């Protein structure tokens, strides 16, 4: 349904909770903490997002998903820009986002010594490699339940 009345910034932010991160779809862009600024003006909606990594290849998809979602919901032009004005850090992931990560089998970001297994909660884990399948993830192994798992990098 297209909402025709002028949306508030809060309306836009709520709508953004329905835009998933393409690499970790259990997280919305809001849970991930990349939504920096939302401005609603007479000529459309401006959203500024913070890249998790400088060269994140998912950025174009995220930009398009945000524009599609807000455009179809509010029926007005949407502009999405990226900025390094403040650096995205892994502390920006919300509490519910951290819980969603754990449920999906990905350890939420922590200092390497504090990473716990998302499957069995054991702290007896070792980092196999600081680098994983995406720029933002590392590879770990749990000695407790003998399962490999991924952890979001703490940046």
Which residues, 6+ apart, have CB-to-CB distance to 138 below 8 Å?
Answer: 112, 127, 129, 130, 131, 132, 150, 151, 152, 153
Pairing mode, strands 35-41 and 78-82? unpaired
Can you tell me which of 13, 36, 128, 147 binds other proteins, judged by CB under 8 A? 128
Q: How far apart are CA 7 and CA 140, in angstroms?
A: 44
Residue 10 binds other proteins, judged by CB under 8 A: no
Can you tell me which of 1, 43, 55, 113 binds other proteins, judged by CB under 8 A? 55
- Minimum distance from residue 54 beta carbon to other proteins (Å): 4
Query: Structure tokens of 62?
Result: 């995220």
Residue 67 binds other proteins, judged by CB under 8 A: no
Residue 120 binds other proteins, judged by CB under 8 A: no
Binding residues for other proteins (CB under 8 A): 51, 53-57, 60, 83-89, 128-135, 139, 153, 155
């Amino acid at each position: 349904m297209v909402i025709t009345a002028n949306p508030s910034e809060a309306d836009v932010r709520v709508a953004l909770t329905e835009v998933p991160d393409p690499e970790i779809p259990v997280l919305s862009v809001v849970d991930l903490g990349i939504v920096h600024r939302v401005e609603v003006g007479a000529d459309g909606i401006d959203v500024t997002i913070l890249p998790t990594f400088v060269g994140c290849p998912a950025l174009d998809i995220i930009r398009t998903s945000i524009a599609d979602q807000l455009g179809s919901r509010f029926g007005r032009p949407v502009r999405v820009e990226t900025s390094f004005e403040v650096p995205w850090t892994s502390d920006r992931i919300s509490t519910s986002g951290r819980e969603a990560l754990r449920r999906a089998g990905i350890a939420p970001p922590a200092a390497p010594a504090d990473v716990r297994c998302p499957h069995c909660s054991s702290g007896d884990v070792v980092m196999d490699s600081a680098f994983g399948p995406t720029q933002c993830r590392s590879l770990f192994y749990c000695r407790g339940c003998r399962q490999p798992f991924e952890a979001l990098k703490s940046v």
